[in-house]
Chain A
């Protein structure tokens, strides 16, 4: 009833191929964007913007990147943290070396650099598959973190190996990094980047490129036989995925924490992002966002919940409970719906189509 498609006729190819062919989806999307661009900055407190919305957006972008690689192209990777670090350090070097360069260009270039690194570390995927590949990508994870930690050139010879973002504006005094940037500015800037890149991702996966990724994912030998070149396709997936992860890492370092050391992108970060896409749904753009929201919000909620309800529990017990509940919920969700939150959403939509007259 609420979600009725009847009467929406597609009279041209363009309409048929629209990203959101159904009216309700379009309305909802516009509403979401309005809320995100206007509602949130107006209503949310500084705490919300800088410690919930910002990491959510940054993580969404990283999850999106990994989802392109793992969910669409089927290459299981645990090197996300390393690629994020590459983006962060590339952005830092660029921003410091070329102070006049616009921060947007800095971020894009750092994404490109990360893409190149990603291709390099994606090479083993031509020969190794499945969990063997996953563990092999850990090599890139450990190597990259070690490299950024080890060579002081990457941190401009700071004695402790921590980089901190120089103040930069997108235009005029719209500062997005450094101490003079307001949380609202940071949030809006990140939101724009994430929206543009999400739109791009949505279109990539609908295109020839995305379809060949999915063919490789579903069965690479068969894909090869129908004329998809595994070399270009797999490395392309690594490049695009790393591009996203790189930008996400740069945003993390410049906008979210505004100072970072290589260890912030260690192996736990990679796992965290893998959780997001599995909880959210492999092979789903929406799922990346839902997964990121789940993984970012849940621990914050769990650690705040006892104070909210006025319970006086010691912080260590809270943290331990947080671990337990987090683990239990992951298992619970996998049992209830192994294909992630995005799939739940889809099922919900199906039901809404008929509701309230299911027969």
Chain B
């Protein structure tokens, strides 16, 4: 009978689903979950990031046999940038492996918000590298969240400093017009308070232009910007298809590209390449170098791609988002290594890796040992400061690749840090958290 079969199938499905909760664990393996999105509206940006993150772990396993002899087991879970799928991935992966998940990089502001509390309860660090909750940089209130090497608020201040230097001094910012085009979501709204504070301090006027998700249509926004407001500079906090649409529309109203600066999530190959020639001269912030001329990439070519084990194709190694995924893995694996220096060479628990993150000190010497010299600036995370606060650089799209056009720019920590602490204190009060003390 057809229907009984269907019911049987349904029962089978239910039984089957219950089976996957079981997972086996082997000795001396460190389990690392990787929340990625290789599908959905943001897949073009999510895929290179995931590839870079994966290749670095593969390289560590192939070259060094893992970290200090502990093999890394990485499992990806596709969130499609959906918060509820992200939560499901988190719950599924958090208990896997011998010692549970090492650290989560949620790769989406929404998912970060959703798992911050869960992770604190489960004692698993959340490493939201350059996204998520900016005020989580206050390690007293958020012991389990790490935002290194920089945050949106620091980035906004660094962008203003860059614009100031381009205008010939911060004093010249007075009376200038700066517009912000942003993804109308938790992510896009992050820089607004900082920019508003800075506008008051330096006397420029600040104009906001929200763009609704996913940002397919921006004609009205850009007509207002390019034909009426005519600002001196435009910043953009966009993601996915919104970026290339903005670049196209900016070109369509004749806005000069060299006055248009994106955040670090608005400055990668998938953002500029579809816009074609129009994108040449477009700038963006970055906390690491583009390109594959670094020792770490040579190691990846040799140990991963040389053995036909690569996650993507060789020509895509060294793209901006690939490198960012790689950096993400560098931070996680170095935190594990730091933790091992205290707790011994075995699989680390989330709690121990948290300590590792908190005592992570990527000095120049260490970076060059990792094959990352000139790739990024040193970062030091402390109990109080989970951000580290590296300087940023501005890169420009040359038509085929990104190139740096500025020197390293320090963020305005003196302005941003008090804002972070005030915001974190407000969160602590709302949630009834007593901040710990850092000596």
Contacts and interface: CB of A to CB of B under 8 A. Distances in A.
A and B touch in the complex (CB under 8 A): yes
Interface of A: 45-48, 50-52, 55, 146, 149-150, 159-162, 164, 166-167, 178-179, 256-261, 263-264, 266, 297, 299-301, 303-305, 307-308, 314-316, 318-320, 323, 336, 344, 347-348, 351
Interface in B59-98: 76-78, 80, 83-85, 87-88, 91-92, 95
A283 to B, nearest CB: 20
Interface in B29-60: 36, 38-40, 43, 47
A338 to B, nearest CB: 15
B3 A47 contact: no
A303 B87 contact: no
Nearest to B87: A257
B431 A166 contact: yes
A14 B82 CA distance: 48
B3 A160 contact: no
Main secondary structure of the interface of A (DSSP, over half): helix
A344 B3 contact: yes
B78 A263 contact: no
Contacts of B39: 316, 319-320, 323
B117 interface: yes
B114 A258 contact: yes
A307 B76 CA distance: 11
A258 to B, nearest CB: 6
A113 to B, nearest CB: 22
Contacts of A47: 21, 91-92, 95
Contact of A55 (B84, B134, B430): B84
B212 A146 contact: yes
Nearest to A59: B84
A261 B1 CA distance: 47
B189 A164 contact: no
B21 A149 contact: no
Main secondary structure of the interface of B (DSSP, over half): helix
Contact of A161 (B47, B85, B87, B186): B186
Contact of B121 (A179, A319, A344): A179
Contact of A261 (B16, B21, B185): B185
A84 to B, nearest CB: 12
Given A257-B84, A257-B114, A160 B47 contact: no
B431 A167 contact: yes
B221 interface: no
B421 interface: no
Given A258-B117, A263-B185, A305 B16 contact: yes
Contacts of B78: 303, 315-316, 318-319
A160 B190 contact: yes
B76 A315 contact: yes
Given A47-B21, A347-B3, A315 B77 contact: yes
A291 to B, nearest CB: 13
B3 A259 contact: no
Contact of A160 (B2, B36, B121, B189): B189
Given A304-B20, A344-B7, 8 more contacts: A160-B109, A164-B431, A259-B116, A299-B85, A300-B17, A316-B78, A319-B78, A351-B1
7 contacts: A149-B184, A162-B186, A263-B110, A264-B83, A319-B39, A336-B6, A351-B4
Given A51-B92, A167-B432, A179-B120, A159 B113 contact: no
Contacts of B91: 46-47, 50-51
B417 interface: no
A119 to B, nearest CB: 26
Contacts of A46: 91
B358 to A, nearest CB: 20
Interface residues of B, number: 59
9 tightest Cβ-Cβ pairs between the two chains A and B: A316-B38, A319-B39, A160-B186, A315-B78, A179-B117, A51-B91, A51-B88, A304-B20, A315-B76
A348 B21 contact: no
B213 interface: yes
Contacts of A150: 184, 210
A149 B211 CA distance: 12
B205 interface: no
A344 B431 contact: no
B10 to A, nearest CB: 9
Given A167-B431, A258-B117, A344 B6 contact: yes
A316 B47 contact: yes
B423 interface: yes
Nearest to B14: A297
B365 interface: no
B57 to A, nearest CB: 15
B13 interface: yes
Contact of B117 (A164, A314, A315): A164
Contacts of A304: 17, 20, 92
Contacts of B92: 47, 51, 304
A129 B113 CA distance: 40
B187 interface: yes
Contacts of B133: 160
Contacts of B110: 162, 261, 263-264
Contacts of A305: 16
B118 A179 contact: yes
A256 B86 CA distance: 12
B80 A159 contact: no
Contacts of B116: 259
Contacts of B117: 164, 178-179, 258-259
Interface string B128-154: 000001110000000000000000000
B192 interface: yes
Nearest to B183: A263
Interface in B186-238: 186-187, 189-190, 192-193, 210, 212-213
A261 B213 contact: no
Given A167-B431, A351-B3, A159 B95 contact: no
B43 A316 contact: yes
A300 B187 CA distance: 27
Contacts of B210: 150
A261 B212 CA distance: 14
Contacts of B308: none
Contact of B193 (A51, A159, A307): A159
Contact of B185 (A149, A159, A256, A308): A149
B19 interface: yes
Contacts of A162: 109-110, 113, 186
Contacts of A178: 117, 431
